[in-house]
Amino acid sequence: MTAGTMEQGMQRTSGDVSSERPDAELGAAVPKVIEARHVRKIFAGTHGEPAVVAIDDISFDIRRREFTVFLGPSGCGKSTTLHMIGGFEQQTEGSLLLNGQAIRGPGPDRGIVFQDFVLFPWRTVLGNIAFGLEMMRCFTRAEISERARHYVEHLGLAGFANAYPSTLSGGMKQRVAIARTLAVQPEFVLMDEPFAALDAQARDRLIVDVSLIANEQNTTFLFVTHDIREAIRLADRILVFSPRPARIVESIAVTLPRPRDAYSAELLDVDRYMRSLIGTSPED
Amino acid sequence: MENRGEATPGEPESATTYTSSSATAVAGSPDGRSRLYPSRSTLIGTTSVCLFALVWQGLASSGVIPAVVLPGPLDLVARAIYLAGPSSNPPFQLEGDILLTLSRLLGGFAVAALFAVPVGIVSAVSRPIALVLMPFVGVFMAIPALAIVPILMLLTGIGNATDFTVVVVTAFIPIVVYVYDGVRMIDRKYLWTSRSFGARSGDVFWHVIVPAAIVPLLAGFRMGMGYAWRSLIATESLTALTGGLGYTIFQASQFFDTRTIYLYMVVTAVLGFAIESAFRAAEIRTAVRWGTLASGKR
Ligand SMILES: Nc1ncnc2c1ncn2[C@@H]1O[C@H](COP(=O)(O)OP(=O)(O)OP(=O)(O)O)[C@@H](O)[C@H]1O
Ligand SMILES: [Mg+2]
């Protein structure tokens, strides 16, 4: 495989991906909003278990509005990385800066979407989407309702506003979770394998919808997956994680226009290239 | 249910229609006729109770068992009419006893819940606090309520305060234990999600922890109420000046007044059943409606 065949769709950087690098699409003028430097995470063993080195040493930069995908095999530390950015966990060593500041706990600037939705079953679809707006305490009830209804429509949930989550399909539930997160217009949206529990059809439609949302929103997406195809269809940049303890082995910029057809020739090219690069498929 | 209004702000009328119709479907038959006709399970239950009363009355009327040992249901009805009327001593004794016992039960229970729920939640959230508090809960759980009655009588006299305190103490422990376990079992991602929306502690408490732990919370209330109810009836018979269902049962036993004893047993059972039904109704209006607890219908 020569570099020439890849020029149309992607660009590759190996090793320490935090250093200044030529960036075809975004350019150096786009500010770095997340800077990770030699981040290490060790989970102390409880009840006599040995400590787990989840993340060995990772460094990376994320620029504003960049759709970054963390790609890597199961158990390699992708979720842990996301949890540290979300402020739910703290790194053991290294520095993790968000807009130049050390991360201190979760905040409404970073919304999170989990694989298993984590909807509030005691709230209707509309109630779930309104949750974050209520917590902000700066809107009237009418404003909250109006905004929440906007996101009901936006995520294709019309007609389900008053349904309880337990009555919805997996794809619908994830749409509610995404709507709930987008409704407060966070600066970052963190997504942890959000489509892994969905059937192929629902997943496909959500990939397209999230691509479109990413195009129009002024939001930086951090998206965890172990699915190469999903990564290529969504990412501006893919950070490839090694097996645990995590290191970042590649940074790949994908410059195809979105939404991307899963079976276009360019995409299949990138897919083939990625698989040759990673060696074994990270899916197993 | 007080947080429902906030859960769905500015919802139009249609929301109310949706939720109430779904609650009906869960509570009664799926075709929603349960409001007009008694459901099949209610009919069967009523029939079996009536049959039981008939057999009982037959047994009592036949004279096989002496009326002192087993008065019939009709005797109890007569007794109830007398005790509920102005000519009993004191007048309206039945109503008075029910009111006294219920007020002690509900008042004591409210106080217990008011303290036990926060204690359970705080212990579940903070490991240091759990380490300090939980040993006491374990020890108190092992002490039967009646064992503390003599000490309470020394401390507070043989009046209302003892009955009331017994309710508080016996209801407190199971509520703490259930709330503690229930809150610890909440998926931490609920807490993460709410905090990533900037929710404050009070919001997390009311909007996340309480509804997320509603099933164990209600289970704890049920257990607490059950323990308190039994201990209260027993304690009332020991605190001999204060009236109440337990007191009257004890008095009646001194005079072999079995009709009053049986009548009060029935009253006790009916009240206990009503309390249990209230908890079940709370469950149906919350966890069953949300789809997080099976309706239990087969
Ligand atoms: N709270 C914890 N305590 C101890 N070990 C943990 C904890 N959380 C994660 N780990 C360990 O850290 C490693 C990385 O976990 P992580 O969940 O980040 O992986 P992942 O890349 O998201 O994998 P998956 O694809 O399975 O979601 C795993 O070996 C996991 O067992
Ligand atoms: Mg994970």
CA distance B262 to chain A (A): 43
CB-count exposure of residue B90 (10 Å: 0-12, 13-18, 19+):
exposed
Question: For residue A240, which amino acid is it?
Answer: V
Is residue B12 predicted with pLDDT exceeding 50? no
**Judged by CB atoms within 8 Å, which residues 47-86 of A form the interface with B?**
86
**pLDDT score of A36:** 94
Ligand 1 atom closest to A49 (CA)? 4
Contacts of A121 in chain B (CB under 8 A): 290-292
Cis-peptide, bond into residue A186, ω within 30° of zero:
no
CA-CA-CA-CA dihedral for A275, A212, A83, A108, to nearest 10? 170
CB B215 within 8 A of CB B293: yes
Closest CA to B259 of B71, B33, B13: B71
Whether B192 sits inside 8 A of A121 (CB atoms) is: no
* Residue A142 at interface with chain B, using a CB cutoff of 8 Å: yes
Whether B291 sits inside 8 A of A164 (CB atoms) is: yes
The Cα-based distances of A156 to A67, A114, B201, B246 in angstroms read 22, 19, 33, 61
List, chain by chain if needed, residues with CB within 6 Å of any ligand 1 atom.
Answer: A 43, 52, 54, 72, 74-80, 226, 244
Contacts of B289 in chain A (CB under 8 A): 164
**pLDDT score of A101:** 93
Least confident range from A250-254, A274-278, B54-58: namely A274-278
Least confident range from A157-166, A174-183, B23-32, B124-133: namely B23-32
Confidence of residue A12 (pLDDT cuts 50, 70, 90): low
Q: Which residues surround ligand 2, an ion (CB under 5 A)?
A: A 79
- A233's CB contacts (< 8 A; 6+ apart) are A207, A211, A258, A259, A260, A262, A267
The length of chain A, given as a count of residues: 284
Work out the average pLDDT over A3-27. 51
**pLDDT score of A27:** 54
Can you tell me the distance from the alpha carbon of B180 to that of B182, in angstroms, rounded to the nearest whole number? 6
Can you tell me the distance from the alpha carbon of A267 to that of B7, in angstroms, rounded to the nearest whole number? 44
| 3-state secondary structure at position A192 | strand
Confidence of residue A170 (pLDDT cuts 50, 70, 90): very high
Can you tell me the distance from the alpha carbon of A146 to that of A242, in angstroms, rounded to the nearest whole number? 45
Contacts of B196 in chain A (CB under 8 A): 86-87, 106-108, 110-112
**pLDDT score of B153:** 83
Can you tell me the distance from the alpha carbon of B92 to that of B86, in angstroms, rounded to the nearest whole number? 5
Is residue B241 predicted with pLDDT exceeding 90? no
The Cα-based distances of A157 to A139, A168, B5 in angstroms read 22, 10, 21
Which two tokens mark B47?
């029939």
Output the DSSP codes for B265-288.
HHHHHHHHHHHHHHHHHHHIIIII
**pLDDT score of B243:** 86
Whether B286 sits inside 8 A of A124 (CB atoms) is: no
**pLDDT score of B87:** 87
Averaged confidence pLDDT in chain A: 86
**Judged by CB atoms within 8 Å, which residues 79-108 of A form the interface with B?**
86-88, 105-108
Contacts of A129 in chain B (CB under 8 A): none
Nearest-by-Cβ selection for A106 from B7, B192, B291 = B192
Rounded (5°) CA angle A95-A136-B180 = 75
* Residue B189 at interface with chain A, using a CB cutoff of 8 Å: yes
**pLDDT score of A258:** 81
Whether A121 sits inside 8 A of B200 (CB atoms) is: no
User: What does the radius of gyration of chain B's CA atoms come to, in whole angstroms?
Assistant: 23
CA distance A269 to chain B (A): 38
The residue of chain B nearest to residue A129, with distances taken between CA atoms, is B8
Is residue B31 predicted with pLDDT exceeding 70? no
Ligand 1 atom closest to A81 (CA)? 18
Is residue A1 predicted with pLDDT exceeding 70? no
pLDDT digits (tens, 9 = 90+) for A183-216: 999 999 999 999 999 999 899 999 999 999 988 8
Element (H, E) at B180: helix B160-184
- B256's CB contacts (< 8 A; 6+ apart) are B68
Can you tell me the distance from the alpha carbon of A99 to that of A103, in angstroms, rounded to the nearest whole number? 9
Is residue A144 predicted with pLDDT exceeding 90? yes
β-bridge mates for residue B111, sequence order? none
CA distance A180 to chain B (A): 10
Confidence of residue A162 (pLDDT cuts 50, 70, 90): very high
The residue of chain A nearest to residue B16, with distances taken between CA atoms, is A162
**How many Å lie between the centroid of ligand 2 and the Cα of residue B168?**
46
Closest CA to A121 of B293, B5, B280: B293
Greater pLDDT, A14 or B151: B151
Greater pLDDT, A169 or A277: A169
